[in-house]
Amino acid sequence: MAVTEPMPELSPLQNKTLGLLRRAADPLVFDTAFIASLRGDIDEAFELFHERMGDETIFISKHRLTSVLGCEVQHLHDDEFSWSPAVAGGQVAHRAIQLMVNWRGDPVPADVIDEALARLADEDTSIGDWIERLAEADLADLRGFAVDKLIKFQECFPPLDRRAAPTVESSVRWPVDGPIVLSGKVDLTLGRPSGAESRKVIIDLKTGWVSPKHREDLRFYALVETLRTQIPPRKLASFYLDAGEPVVEDVTERVLLTASRRMLDGVNAEIELRVEGRDPVKRPGTSCRWCPLQSECSEGQAYLADRDAERD
């Protein structure tokens, strides 16, 4: 007779996460007429956008959408990206979580991080090249940051049941081709639709402070998922690993309509700026703190000074 191992006892934090993400007793099924209307309105708007774009192509991700709807001057500035242990640590932790979700047994977090580092270093990508060139001390810094995030993920989430179809770093895009493409990569999804019933949960894993843009990012993912499958996810969650706290939102028709209007506003702004040549609008905000143009932007400096004064 086969012996099944008992389920491990969950911590209070893991139980809290399970309760927040668990499905309600009543199945969630969206009105098919609403989904068709949402899709039809976006198709119509895209056709009008196509007429203004000529031969140009626009890819809209959550980062680009937030950027173009923020300070347009910063958005158009070509800032040279460079990897750092803090930035790359998130990528390593995400790869390790992907391995952990599908790993049999109970692996040691540091071992999973080492495997993730080795796999990333073998890839022909910018982060792979960067990892390959790291000195031992810098590699230790990177490993320590990533191990910390992986352990916090384990502390926050119960062991993920394979029947819940957990998927890490899942790429989504819509449409398959065309002048305008919406795309993204979701940190973690749980569940999958059953017939017309919405069962999927979309989760972003975060460090640091809560930001309103995090909720908008998830709504964008919910919109792309709805356009792709015609079945919206049921719930969205920004999970702040350092604090052990999720910010959870139920997906509703209003959430999807809001995400659609925001996305169309962003596409329109991209066309105005990059195709039609409209002058960019300067909008001081939180991103001023790491903007490469900060030293020459009096509006951004004033905004940051006011924010610092409020904190003091």
| Structural domain contains residue 101 | yes
Mean pLDDT of 114-126: 93
Which residues in 188-209 are b (16+ Cβ under 10 Å) and which e? Answer: bbbbebeeeebbbbbbbbbbee
**What is the rounded average pLDDT for all residues in the chain?**
90
User: Of 156, 177, 192, which residue is a domain's last?
Assistant: 156
- Does residue 79 have a pLDDT over 80? no
pLDDT in tens, 19-38: 888 888 889 999 999 999 99
- Between CA 196 and CA 205, with CA 199 as vertex, the angle to 5 degrees is 145
Q: Which of 138, 156, 174 is the last residue of a domain?
A: 156
Residue 216 lies in a domain: no
Domain contains 306? yes
Higher pLDDT, 162 or 182: 182
- Is residue 184 classed as helix, strand or coil in its secondary structure? strand
The C-alpha atoms of residue 279 and residue 286 are separated, in whole angstroms, by 22
Is 114 part of a structural domain of the chain?
yes
Exposure class string for 235-258: b at 16+ Cβ within 10 A, else e: bbbbbbbeebbbbbeebeeebbee
CA 120 to CA 108: how far, in whole Å? 19
Q: Mean per-residue pLDDT for 270-285?
A: 94
User: How does residue 279 score in pLDDT terms, banded at 50, 70 and 90?
Assistant: very high
| Domain assignment present for 149 | yes
Higher pLDDT, 273 or 103: 273
- Residue 165 makes CB contacts below 8 A (sequence gap 6+) with 189, 190, 191, 192
Q: Is 144 inside a domain boundary?
A: yes
Is 236 a domain residue?
A: no
Residue 113, in any domain of the structure: yes
For the segment 65-76, what is each residue's pLDDT rounded down to a tens digit?
999 999 999 999
Predicted pLDDT at 98? 87
* Predicted local distance difference test score (pLDDT) of residue 184: 92
**pLDDT at residue 239 is higher than 50:** yes
Strand bridging mode 58-60 / 167-174: unpaired
Quick check: 5 pLDDT over 60? no
- Residue 153: pLDDT band by 50, 70, 90 thresholds? very high
Region 249-265: what's the mean pLDDT?
97
Last residue of a domain, one of 156, 176, 196: 156
Those residues whose C-beta lies under 8 Å from the C-beta of residue 293, and which sit 6 or more positions away, are 73, 74, 77, 300
* Whole-structure pTM value: 0.90
Query: How many structural domains are present in the chain?
Result: 2
The pLDDT of residue 2 is 35
At 7 the pLDDT is 58
Q: Which residue range is the domain that position 109 belongs to? A: 85-156
Q: What are the pLDDT digits (tens) for 170-228? A: 899 999 889 999 999 999 999 988 899 999 999 999 877 888 899 999 999 999 999 99
